[in-house]
Amino acid sequence: MNKEIKDLLARYISNQCTAEELQQVKAVLKSGLYEKEWLALMEEEAALDQSAVAGLPPLSFNADGVFKKVIQTTAPQKKAYPYQWVVGIAAGLLVMLTAGYLTYTSKFSPKQQVYMVQQATHAAERRTIVLADGSRITLNNKSKLRYSSVFTNTKREVYLTGEAFFDVVHDVKRPFIVHTSNLKVQVLGTSFNVKSYQHDARVSVGVVTGKVGVNGMNAKKTYMLLPGNLLSCNKSDTLFKQSTVSIDEILGWQNGLLAFHQESLRDIVPELERWYNVTVHVNTANLLKKRITASFSKTPLPEVMDILSKTGGFTYTINKKKVEIN
């Protein structure tokens, strides 16, 4: 197995390739010589999404043939030959040629390809994705979404790591299912927010319109949520808490609102890192338990840190993309 090629493909699916590397990826995919590297990478990515939950089996992922399906194919080009037409038999020849052409294209036209698609965002980046069924998904910063290029006739499934807002097209025959490492969310057609970062202590689902069903990975109970309902769970004890919040709060991050409600500094730090693309280090361990309530609307990092430091009783320094909290 070629590790260099595998690393290149890993950068490709994480949207980290330079323009030169993108050309290399294109050549690799067209060559058809690195199927093992591609399949190994896909299996690792599928397993990674489940690694945050101890004791669960790896995510089932059928990688067989994925590499071949990724490669673009074209139908064979039909050659044209010059003919000397005789007016008296032109109509008959036209019928024969038309029938032959339809048979030819029916036999050789490529079938619709089905393959796994992955979209990812960096820190301080957001992206809107439109799926094959017309559903729109907005990925928050440092998030990843995997889904099939074509959904089946019975269900629509996507796999999320991070945070995303879903505006799902109604389809009573095909439920829409969002898989995360801790939750499974199922709807027919509604709009809702799912937050499930791998290293965050909590996961949550908030509903804007319609009805949403939520199952915990280790719980048999199904929670039915209505507009304004927020279901959250602490990963350490897997206890669910349901509350009612404003719709504006659920939509907050899409409108540039960064809000904390009695959240510990331990939970606030990774949010700041994703939001502002910085690294934050807390030098005093006791400060991580400090709980803070504050909200910011499109506020620069220095102003945010000023308010948090006064509320939390700590000092800080900012050096380029590094924040030190003392």
Segment 296-318 mean pLDDT:
94
pLDDT tens per residue across span 226-251: 999 999 988 877 788 999 999 999 99
Residue 80 burial (C-beta neighbours within 10 Å; 0-12, 13-18, 19+): exposed
The three-point CA angle 323-324-326 to 5° equals: 145
User: What is the model's pLDDT at position 62?
Assistant: 40
pLDDT tens per residue across span 86-101: 333 333 433 343 344 4
List Cβ neighbours of 244 (8 Å cut-off, separation of 6 or more).
228, 229, 230
Lowest mean pLDDT among 10-19, 21-30, 316-325: 10-19
Residue 130: how many CB atoms within 10 A of its CB?
10
Residue 287 in tokens: 């400060």
C-alpha span between 232 and 216 (Å, rounded) = 10
The domains found in the chain, sorted by start residue, are: 3-70 (no CATH), 116-253 (2.60.120.1440), 256-326 (3.55.50.30)
Report field, pTM of the whole predicted structure over 0.85 = no
Give the residue with greater pLDDT, 56 vs 195: 195
C-alpha span between 201 and 269 (Å, rounded) = 12
C-alpha span between 80 and 85 (Å, rounded) = 14
User: What is the model's pLDDT at position 41?
Assistant: 66
C-alpha span between 306 and 169 (Å, rounded) = 42
User: What is the model's pLDDT at position 82?
Assistant: 39
| pLDDT of 108 over the 80 cut | no
pLDDT tens per residue across span 161-213: 999 999 999 998 999 999 998 889 999 889 999 999 988 988 999 999 999 99
User: What is the model's pLDDT at position 86?
Assistant: 34
Question: Which residue, 121, 170, 114, 171, is CA-closest to 144?
Answer: 121
Contacts 24+ apart (CB under 8 A), 38-41: 38/9, 38/66, 38/67, 38/70, 39/63, 39/64, 39/66, 39/67, 40/1, 40/6, 41/6, 41/9, 41/10, 41/13
